[in-house]
Amino acid sequence: MMRKVLVFLALIGFAFALLPLAYRAGVADEPNALATAYLERAPAELATANVVTAIVVSYRGFDTLGEVAVLFAATAGVGALLTKKRLGSAGARAPRKEATEVLGTAARLLTSLLALFGVYIFTHGHLTPGGGFQGGVVIATAVLLNILARPQSHLAHGLMTAVESLSGAAYVALGLLGAFLAWGFLDPRALPLGELGKLVSAGAIPLIYSVVGLKVGAELSGILEALKGDRE
Amino acid sequence: MVNPLYLFAASLGVAFLLPLVDKLGRKLSLALAYLTLAAWLAAGLSYLWALSFGGAQATLFGTAGFEAPLAIMLRVGLAEAAGLSALSLVGLLAAISMRNKLRDSPIGGLMTLLMALMGMSGIVLTRDLFNLFVFLEISSIASYGLIAYDDRKAALRAGFKYMIAGGIASALYLIGVVYIYRFTGQLNLDLAASSPGLAGAAGSAAVFFLLAALLVELKPFPANGWAIDVYHAADPGVAGILSGASATALMLALWKILPLLGPAHLSLVAGSGLLSFVAGNLAGARQGNARRMLGYSSVAQLGLVMAVIALNELYGLGGEGFVYLTAGGLLLNHLLAKTGLFLITEKAPSGGTTALGGLLALALVGLPPFPGFWAKWSLVQALVAKGQWAIIALILAASLVEAFYVLRWFGSLAKGKADESQLEPRASLFAPALLALALTGFGVLSGWNAGLREPLLWAPFALAVLLYILDRLSVFVKAPLAIAAVAAFGYLATPGLDGLRQFFALMLLGGGALFLLSAMRKAGPRRGLMPLLGAATLSLGAVLLADSALSFFFAWEAMTLFSYLLVLRGKEGEKPALSYLSFGLGGAFLLMLGLLGGAGLWPGAPAGPAWALALAAAGILVKLGALGVHVWLPGAYAEADDEVSGFLSASMSKAGIFALIALMAALSLVPAGREALNQGWALRGLGWLGLATALFGALYAIYQEDIKKTLAWSSMGQLGYVVLALAINDQAGWTTALYLALNHFLYKGMLFLAIAGVVQRVGTRNMYEMGGLIKKMPFSFLSVLMAIIALSGVPPLSGFGGKWLLYSSLINKGWYLEAAVAFFASAVAFLYLYRLIHSIFLGQPKPSQALVKEAPLALTLPQGFLMAILLAVSAFPRLMLDPIMAIVGNRSGTILAFEGGRLSSPLGYWNGTLSMVVTAAVFGLCFVWMMVNLHNTQSVKQFNIVYAAERPHTPATTHYAFAFFEPYRKALGFLTRERAERFWESAGGGVSALGGALRRLYTGNGQTYALHIVLYVAILYLIMGVL
Amino acid sequence: MNALEFLAGINPVAASGAALVLVGLWGVLARPNLFKIAIAFTVLETGVNLVILSVGYIRGRTAPILDAASDAATASARMTDPVPQALVLTAIVIGLAVTALMLSYALRLKAAGGGSSIEAYGEEKW
Amino acid sequence: MDATLLQRVGYAFVSLFVITNYGLLLIGSMARISAKVQGRVGQPVYQPYIDIIKSSAKRNSIGHGVMFYLGPVFRLAGGVGTYMFIPAVFGSALFMNFSDSGDLLLVMYFIFFGQLGMALGASEGGHPYSAIGVSRGLAQMTAFEVPFALSVIAVAVQYGTLDITAIVAAQQGGFMHWTLATNPLAVVAALIAFLGMSMHNPFSVVIAPQEIPIGPPTEYQSNLLGMLQTNRAIFNGAKLVLYMNLFFGGATNIVVMVIKTFLIYFINVFVGQAFPRLRVDQSIRFFLGVPTLIGIASVLIAAF
């Protein structure tokens, strides 16, 4: 009871603290100077149609690198936590039920489509809403579907690890390329910018997003597999 | 300076590739990871070098080829470089000490380790608010993974709690950062801080969320249960990284966002920090588990650093340099020491573990020469200058509690009582050793920077190190070496000193050398004794050398430190050492406040305000063991090694006397001070305190069965007389004080040395288990006999001179009742003195002690030396009194004067030489008379006594020694009911109960911890509204 | 200021985000099941993400993506603030990582036989 | 009145001879008086001489060790020394002894010399009764020293000196100048203390004959006992002379001294006949009670 009262009080207090921000700050009328600068400079400087992508991959690319690192650390943590050996008998539970016919069929049908869609999303991140993370997640859904459809099957774990490692290394290498060929680490202008709106444009951004997409896809698949509990 | 981005690239590249590399073997992975960490360390050090010596300026690095405000900026300044180096060092060393487990765990462990440290480095370097969030998350998420890496269940439980706390903190941070963006249009820290958008309630609330997130990450009380659980449960290496490296990074993050904070925010930080410091230490006081205790200490230390940073902003304590010195010093001290200690907790007990654990623990509690000492000094100095007494009191009180429980742990470690379940038997001590080395190095550097450049002040530490290195050698090698060092010190130091200090140098250094000599009474290396005793002796010398407040306090603390370790070395020294140190530090803190307030204790020092003098005097009185704060004394003196007890009583106690004299001397240099002294009730009070100490010291002494306890209480009482005499504060009083001090040195030295021999030969300290030793140990008997004659003040030995001087000056001063009580006290002294010599040397011998031999030469030699001096100054009092009276000089009129061999006061006179001659003549005549009349003497055997026509059979029943003064206890026992002991015990119990109540907050339920956090934030917000 | 003005001044996205934050927080504080706590955190994070987005929200403007209909010159006049959108992307991924780890912890703890209630994991205390 | 050293030594021997005989006779006569009071015939007045001669003439001496032999030496030296530091007769070179060695404080502390030595000697005898006796004696001593010290301080304060000769000088000129008249409280306190000091009833538990034969000297016989008996006479005399000097105007010649000291001693015996013996703890509480308060009052009177 006491606890409930305290929880209630804590939430009231928290809401009270949120009041001046979430409820009183209102809606902005104009983008601020920084936003305007991004909107105006991104197409010109980086030839990206999607300004958000320009910010994510280039201007604040260091954040994105960090973001990849976060996901990577999480994957590593999950991988260390959930091995078959550590989960023991509780992990390797009795044989799972086979998936239904509907699920099996859908999985067969959708897997390649989903993968393709994911690739599309991350290769077009500089043009349309989308990007490496989004694409990676879509690819991971394909893996999820397959896990659900065939619980007994094993992912090509070695391959996944290799993809994950190499795409990560490629990201770093692309960043270094920017440092050597352009003006700084992670600068996508290491490659020719091309024409705004084309697939091959925006310098290294599509490449970066592609390796990020592969890496995220591999990592999320790895996490899903680990959560399944039969990772070696 | 190398662009730090490359380091991030290297870390990430290595981490990304590790799963592949690992297929080639774990050794390669480990090597690669360590190399990366080493690269960070090298970079950090190179920045530090470039910025401090290379003339480089703080540099901003853009990312992705753009600059702020478009892009994220990294900054390398002095603080960043220092933080980076420190956390890389800690991370590397922790990683090295974790290598066995990293080898056997999945590769994820190594990966998360790399990521965690990279995240922390990012926190240190970035200047972008959102990027800061990303790095905070990298480090926390990697830490979540790292906590679980070796799959210990407790760590998993704690890790989940950590994640809940981290999740809440990151939500808070995001809300804060996004609204700061909303109000300022910037994510770059510097640009946001200079933007006007943050003024007003909404801006303040946005900053509050950001701050709240950082505060939660910094583990403030009471929202820190999760952190303590993690420290408790995680692998010690991980705990070390979290407590040391992560805390450093977070603290730098807090430091970074300072420009955003308004006064209300700063008050929150300061208040929260102080509360954490106090509450963390209180809760730690009850903790038995080493790691959890270190956890409490960690949150406390972080709180203090946090508070210092905020207080500097609030009160303008001293600008950026001040923050580097204090907050930086405290943080550095914390991170190196705490990491080292965490690593130690899993090592099996050994000599090395003890030494390193001791070094780190002593560093942690802020003893010299470690960085914490200097930082605390400057902190308190600044606070005193601003008159922030309440804060000072809080900080010092909590520091004392911290010292108590940290050293309690060390005490049990030193006694081999570590009861950790997960101990690594063959663990290498490389990492903790390096950390300890770094601590020492930084400490010496800080001291050098603080202006302590006199090499002799550092000599105690140098000698301790030197002798520790040689510790395996026999004591017969080390003792002469140590004595030579003391002699060299004396040769170098004393010529430049004034008379008073030379006089004390004789007792302090000479006494130290004497007791060093006596340490050769046992063969073998006697490990630890020589380094500590030698260093303690030199630290006494250093006290005399001090010429500034800081150097005095430095030497004083060094003395406390070494004597604490000496007491701890005693067989049952654990508890007494702890109480010794608690009181020693408490006294030292009072002294520190006095020194900082302006009380001068060195030649030519100014006299400070009255309160400063009172505080300094109070601190010194604690060290002297004045009644009420004496409870440490009997145990410490009794349980230390026997020669150490003598050293403590004969020599070290004189350092306290010296400090008191120096204080009064400084005071009487200024007319105003003289006036204050002459009419104040303060001196009368001091006199009564000294008197009460004398009386109760004697009263307690008579009931002791333990011979060393008897001597300990006796020492306390004798020092009481000195204080009383000093309080008289005129020429006669001072002469008396110095005379008594020197006498006490002589006879207490003899007593302790003789008793050391007895205890060594007999193997017990209970007097009733001895008896009749006069025939076995005649020399020791003679020594004790002379000493007790001198101590009791019976003519013709020099002790009577002390009594005569004391009563003469007391009556002359008009302190009649004091004189009467002093008379009573010295009569009581007869009781224990008689008991001492009777129970040990006279009466019926014990058959088991039939083969006891005279004490070894190493003990009898110094006794003989002291005896010769005692006889000389008894026969010719001027030998001793002339120099003393020259030192005292003409203090507000001459009261005592010599005419030939006759010393006269306005009341009477005393001719030491003549009384000696008369006594000797009378004694000689009586002796001859006896000899002439002796007929046909027969020596009879044991038990051949007139015993109601029966012959007794056992010495145990015949030797009347146990509970010797029972009737006295019946009559006056109500006086000695250990009220002070009970008072301090209940005070300690109160603190402990408070801590016990506080730590009930930490229920172990992660959800309750989450509730604490949310409530903490909400309450903080409300408080900010009020501010 | 009357009630109507007050209501008009509220940013609806931010307000709903804040409400979600509170709901999530309630879940974290009041549901003892480990998995539910993890889910509560995703609710909380979603709320926070909404709050982030709300800051960049400008009434009547489009997403900051150039297409045939708009050229770079007029972009800033027609588009919303892209920065919060970039930030929220990062925040989402980080949230995902936290959720994944939390679930793994929960699984691991449960596999060790302690059950699903957080109250069972309070061995480290005081 | 400058005497050569040799002369002074000679004087001292004379003075010592006088006090020894006087002390012995005093003890003898007091024992006789006590006997009369109790309705006995009692011993002859010269009995103490007989005792000493008998003891000294014994053919055998039993020894327990060095300290055992030295005990009586200490004791006797203590008694003789104490007397030597007190000027016995005011203004007399013959009886000034070596009182220029030190003042009243020296005398007060030299009293301990003999007691300490005796205690040590007795201890080495190895007899538990000796140790018990010493324990009791020392315990009681600490207590009666308090009123005694207070009254001595009162005297010192009153006359502004600790020099015994000067104290006596200040009391010259008739009864009204004696401390007895000027500060009677100090005298009362000191006399009560004297009862304890001389270990008569009711403070005789130290040597309590029934329980612990004779206390400290239990093991002593033959000439060692003789020395102790001699000392008893000298020491008694010395203390009486000291009291006389401090409180009763001193003496200008030997006759006055004899009369005054006899009377002072008589008070002792008188009280001893009237009161039963106290236990040690009782006597400690007693001395630290009313007599101490009287002593404090006397100091306050002298000071203000």
Domain boundaries, chain D: 5-303
Closest approach of chain C CAs to the CA of A111, in angstroms? 22
* Mean pLDDT across B1006-1027: 91
Could you tell me if B310 and B405 lie in one domain? yes
Are residues A165 and B135, on separate chains, in Cβ contact within 8 Å?
A: no
Q: Is the pLDDT of residue A90 over 60?
A: no
The set of chains that have 3 or more CB pairs under 8 A with A is B, C
Do B1019 and B918 fall within a single domain? no
| Final residue belonging to a domain, choices B624, B651, B679 | B679
Q: Give buried/exposed letters for C17-39 (b at 16+ CB in 10 A, else e).
A: bbebbbbbbbbbbbbeebebbbb
Q: Is A11 on the interface with C (CB under 8 A)?
A: yes
| Interface contact B233-C124, CB threshold 8 A | yes
Please state, in angstroms and as integers, the Cα–Cα distance from residue A92 to each residue in A164, A227, A232, following that order.
Answer: 25, 12, 11
Compute φ and ψ for B910, nearest 5 degrees: -150, 125
pLDDT, one tens digit per residue, over D61-109 is 788 888 888 889 999 999 999 999 999 888 888 888 888 888 899 998 8
**C11-58+75-115 sits in which CATH class?**
mainly alpha
What are the structure tokens assigned to D186, written together? 């100090």
- Quick one: how far is CA B20 from the chain centroid? 51
Of B48-52, B296-300, B940-944, the least confident:
B940-944
- Residue count of chain D, please give it: 304
pLDDT for the residue numbered C1: 55
Is the pLDDT higher at B305 or at B952?
B305
Q: Where are the domains of chain C?
A: 11-58+75-115
Question: DSSP for B630-695?
Answer: -THHHHHHHHS-HHHHHIIIIIIHHHHHHHHHHHHHHHHHSHHHHHHHHH-HHHHHHHHHHHHHHH
Please state whether at least 3 CB pairs lie below 8 Å between chains C and A. yes
Asked whether D and C share 3 or more beta-carbon pairs under 8 angstroms, the answer is no
C103 alpha carbon, distance to own chain's centre? 18
Q: How many CA within 13 A on the CB side of residue B231?
A: 30
Confidence of residue B677 (pLDDT cuts 50, 70, 90): low
Enclosing domain of residue A106: 2-228
Q: Which of B679, B701, B735 is the last residue of a domain?
A: B679
Q: End-to-end CA distance of chain D, in Å?
A: 37
A11 pLDDT tier (thresholds 50, 70, 90): very high
> Which residues does chain B have within 8 Å of residue A48's beta carbon, measured at their own beta carbons?
none
Assess whether B460 and B390 both reside in one domain. no
Report residue A129 CA to chain centroid gap.
Answer: 14
Q: Provide the token pair at B175.
A: 């809300």
Out of A12, A37, A68, the one facing B70 most closely (by C-beta) is A37
pLDDT score, position B680: 65
Nearest to A31 among C80, C98, C110 (CB): C80
> Is B709:B697 a contact under the CB 8 Å cutoff?
no
Do B483 and B594 lie in one domain? The reply is yes
* CA–CA gap between residue D176 and residue D162 (Å, rounded): 21
Provide the pairing of β-strand B937-939 with D61-63: parallel
| In a shared domain, residues B500 and B409 | no
- pLDDT value at residue B949: 60
Q: Are residues B426 and B460 in the same domain?
A: no
> Taken in order B977, B980, B985, B989, is the CA torsion positive or negative?
positive
Burial class (CB in 10 A: 0-12, 13-18, 19+), B454: middle
Residues B610 and B743 reside in one and the same domain: no
Give chain C positions within 8 Å (CB) of B164.
Answer: 28, 37, 41
Q: What's B506's DSSP letter?
A: H
Predicted confidence band at D1 (pLDDT cuts at 50, 70, 90)?
Answer: very low
Indicate the residue type of D35. A
Chain B residues near residue A70 by CB distance under 8 angstroms? 134, 137-138, 141
Per the CB < 8 Å rule, is A87 touching C108? yes
**pLDDT tens, B686-707?**
999 999 999 999 999 999 999 9
pLDDT tier for residue D2 given thresholds of 50, 70 and 90: low
Please provide the DSSP assignment of A25-37 as one string: S--BSS--HHHHH
B419 shares its domain with B458: no
pLDDT at B658 over 60: yes
Does an H or E element contain B290, and which?
helix B290-315
Is C41 in Cβ contact with B144 (below 8 Å)?
A: no
Q: Are residues B431 and B491 both part of a single domain? A: no
B960 to D131: CB separation less than 8 angstroms, yes or no: yes
**Average pLDDT of every residue of chain B:** 90
The token pair that represents A117 in the structure block: 């869609």
Number of domains in chain B: 3
With touching defined as 3+ CB pairs under 8 A, do chains A and D touch? no
Among residues B302, B259, B309, B251, which one has the least CA distance to residue B120? B251
- Under the banding of pLDDT at 50, 70 and 90, the label for residue C73 is low
Which pLDDT does position B717 carry in this prediction?
Answer: 93
Q: Domain span at residue B607? A: 451-679
Beta-carbon separation of B64 and A188 below 8 A: yes
Q: What is the mean pLDDT of residues B765-771?
A: 90
Between B334 and A196, the more confident residue is B334
Backbone phi, then psi, for B299, in 5-degree steps? -65, -35
Do B167 and C44 count as a contact with CB atoms less than 8 A apart?
yes
CA distance C106 to chain A (A): 10
- Within 8 A of D77 by CB-CB distance, chain B residues are 919, 922-923, 925-927
Residues of C in contact with B1004 (CB under 8 A): 121-126
Q: What is the pLDDT of residues B178-209, one digit of tens each?
A: 999 988 888 999 888 888 888 888 888 999 99
| ipTM of the complex as predicted | 0.88
User: Cβ B148–C90 below 8 Å, yes or no?
Assistant: no
The pLDDT assigned to B424 comes to 59
Mean pLDDT, residues B744-748 taken together: 94
- Are both B329 and B469 inside the same structural domain? no
- CA distance to partner chain C, nearest, from residue A104 (Å): 26
Placement of tokens 């889910």 in the chain: C39
Query: Is residue B706 domain-shared with residue B591, that is, in the same domain?
Result: no
Cβ–Cβ gap A11/C29 under 8 Å: yes
- Nearest CA to CA, how far is B521 from chain D (Å)? 27
Structure tokens at B423: 């101990």
Which of A215-219, B943-947, D219-223 is most confident? A215-219
pLDDT of C72 > 70? The answer is no
Are the Cβ atoms of A59 and B70 closer than 8 angstroms? yes
Chain D residues with CB under 8 Å of B961 CB are 131
- Does the CB of B106 have a partner CB in chain C at under 8 Å? no
Beta strands in D56-166 (DSSP E): 61-63
**pLDDT, mean over chain A:** 85
Give the D window 99-158 contacts with B, CB below 8 Å: 100-106, 109-110, 112-113, 116, 119-120, 123-128, 131-132, 134-136, 138-139, 141-143, 145-146, 149-150, 153-154, 156-157
Residue B683 pLDDT grade (very low, low, confident, very high; cuts 50, 70, 90): confident
Of B648, B679, B710, which one is at a domain's C-terminal end? B679
Other Cβ atoms less than 10 A from the Cβ of D1: the count is 6
Chains in contact with C, where contact requires at least 3 CB pairs less than 8 Å apart? A, B
Shared domain for B636 and B688, answered yes or no, is: no
Q: What is the residue whose two structure tokens read 């004034």?
A: B498
From chain C, pick out residues whose CB is under 8 angstroms from the CB of B184: none
Centre a 10 Å sphere on the Cβ of residue B892 and count the other Cβ atoms it contains: 12
Fill in the amino acid letter for A136.
G
